[in-house]
Every structure is written in structure tokens, then in C-alpha cells.
Amino acid sequence: MPRPNSIVTGASRGIGRAIATELARTHNVIGTYRDRRDAAERLRQETGCEIFPCDVSRPEDREALIAFARERFGELDLLVNNAGMGPRERRDLLEATEESFDELMAVNLKGPHFLTRLAGAWMAGRGQGRIVFVTSISAFTASVSRPEYCISKAGLSMSAALYAVRLADAGIKVFEIQPGIVRTDMTAIVEKAYEQKIADGLLPQRRMGEGADVAKAVRAIADGLLDYSTGQVIHVDGGFHLRSL
């Protein structure tokens, strides 16, 4: 039986690397990177994933990625929209710049939204496929020191819902994974502060998440275990989303 084919954006490090590594056990994987060719090469050497340079904010890069996948695979079974970025500098809501806002909207929202349009149309031709949007607890949690990030992830959450509705009749299942506080390069600068908040009771499960935690959720989707749950939001956050008295 042939191996399924997948694309994982932002696969050179962090959550994306963990997802690509997990999927490489069973799938053919194209992992994209933007500016960390060295890290992407290590991923290729360690897992056998193919790598492809792609800035998802650029239409020509998105089109080139899909063309490359068509040439390599012929068919696409799984797209994982993981690529994203935080603000280059955290600033208060009243001081955050339009330049930072535009950059995060382009990378975190516009890029995956329009990449999914390309991939969804391709998958629809076969009448099957799965798509994952990796968003964040910031989709529903206000952090006034990085407003552009929160807004981009909230928008991406709606994008996932829209595609889940639109593509259901085509046999394509769409899911949103909302990671919580995960140990990555992005969170490294505030890791100690998060560790203290977690120790003080921020999370019911008192540890930071790891990329592997998110990868396990993608594994369940990739294996078809959630195929009657299109549109489902999967919290991988140690219980952060829970409310308790």
C-alpha cells in the first residue's frame, strides 16, 4: 500500500519539526522552511523528509510549493498549516505598529488561508483529504503585549471553520489544533516567566507543552481517527481552556 502524502509548513523547527518527524514514520512529507536552511537540512537528514523553501505570505511561493508537491506526489492526502511567527518585538496594544500587524497577518493568516485554497481545490478533485490548521490559545486569549499575534490566530481559527464547512461535501476533513504554552524558539525568551506561572497554577496539568504533544494530535487526524469530527477544535494546552471555580 503506498504511503500517504503530506505537506507540513514551517517544519524546520519547533512544533512543525515535531509534526514532520512524527508523520515521516508513515507518510511522504514535504517540510517547508523560510530562512533556516540549516535546520531544514538536518530535518531531511534525520527523517527523510523532502524540504522546500516557502514563505507562505508570498503567492508565488505558495503556488511553487503546490506545483512541487504535484510533481513529487501526484496526490495530496494531508496539509498541515503550521508556519507562523510572533511579533519581532512585543509592544503594548497602544504602541504596536502597523508594520508588525501587516507582517503577522500576511504570514499567520493570509498565507495559510490561501495555501489551503490551493490545496483544497487539489484534494477536491479526488474527493478526499485532511487539512490541519495549527492556531493557538491566543485565538481566544487576549495578550495586550502582542495584539497582532492574537488577531492573526483568531482570524485563522475562523478560516479553519470556513474551510471545514466548504470542503465537507468534497470529502475533505478540516481540523484546528490550538496549542497552549509549548516549549519552542518562540517562547524561549519568556520561558522562565511561563514556568513560574504554571507552577503557580496557570495550567491544570502543571507542565509546559512539547512539540510532540501537538504532533500526537496530528497523528490522530492523519490516521483517520477523527474523520467524523470535521471542524473540531482540539485543545493541546494542558487544560488552559478550562474554566473552574
3-class secondary structure for the chain?
CCCCEEEECCCCCHHHHHHHHHHCCCCEEEEEECCCHHHHHHHHHHHCCEEEECCCCCHHHHHHHHHHHHHHHCCCCEEEECCCCCCCCCCCCCCCCHHHHHHHHHHHHHHHHHHHHHHHHHHHCCCCEEEEEECCHHHCCCCCCCHHHHHHHHHHHHHHHHHHHHHHHHCEEEEEEEECCECCCCCHHHHHHHHHHHHCCCCCCCCCECHHHHHHHHHHHHCCCCCCCCCCEEEECCCCCCCCC
Active site residue ranges: 149
Q: What is the dihedral of CA 200, 202, 208, 214, to 10 degrees?
A: 170
Taking the CB of residue 93, how many other CB atoms lie within 10 A of it?
13
